[in-house]
Amino acid sequence: MNWFHTLLLLVAAFIAVFVSATFNGLRWVAWAQVDLLPGLMVYAALNGGLVTVTLLAVAGGVLFDSVSANPLGASVLPLFAVGWVLQRYRRLILRTEVVAQWALGLAASAAVPVLTLVILLNSQSPPLLGWLSLWQWVVKALVGAALTPVWFWLFGRLDRALNYRPQTSTSFRPDREIKRGRQ
């Protein structure tokens, strides 16, 4: 992954935080706010390096915390932990399968709020917890799982549109002359 791809990921994180903070359609219908960053972290961890995962965790976590009630930096460590685990074991994961992308998105979208909750319970600003929190966690995990393959599709299209594809080599060499007939 080159620097341009990392820059596109950071721009996508900014847009994802903006969309999740601005558009309230699902928040009013399902009574839950959607977090798009765990699915983006799944894509970054499976297709990028540790630097990309770290940049996305820090930038996305700080951006998300700046528009939420969380203390600044509370979402950075959970995002990084999920990204680090996925990046560490990415050779064992079927990253091109939509079902695997969905399952990883479900796991990441469920793990990040739980890890953030653990951090908030150990901080000086305890969160409001109730039975509605369980519903919000389930909705957040399911919507994050459904949107994770969308990240893979979107960045796959961007990769095909903006990066060149190396030409496959054949066994035929064009500088070779073929002599036919008798000599």
User: What are the tens digits of pLDDT across the range 36-92?
Assistant: 999 999 999 999 899 999 999 999 999 998 988 888 888 999 999 999 999 999 888
- Of 107-121, 146-160, 165-179, the poorest mean pLDDT is in 165-179
Residues 108 and 32: their CA atoms lie apart, in Å, by 17
In degrees, rounded to 5, the angle at the alpha carbon of residue 176 between the alpha carbons of residues 174 and 181 is: 125
Q: Are 47 and 1 in contact (CB under 8 A)?
A: yes
Print the domain residue range for 125.
3-162
Residue ranges of alpha helices (H) inside the chain are 3-22, 25-30, 37-47, 50-66, 76-88, 98-121, 131-162
66 domain residue, yes or no = yes
Choose among 117, 143, 130: nearest CA to 34: 143
User: What are the tens digits of pLDDT across the range 154-178?
Assistant: 999 998 888 777 777 766 666 766 6
121 domain residue, yes or no = yes
Choose among 85, 72, 67: nearest CA to 14: 67
The structure tokens listed for 79 are 């995002």
The structure tokens listed for 83 are 């990204």
Number of domains in the chain: 1
User: What are the tens digits of pLDDT across the range 9-19?
Assistant: 999 999 999 98
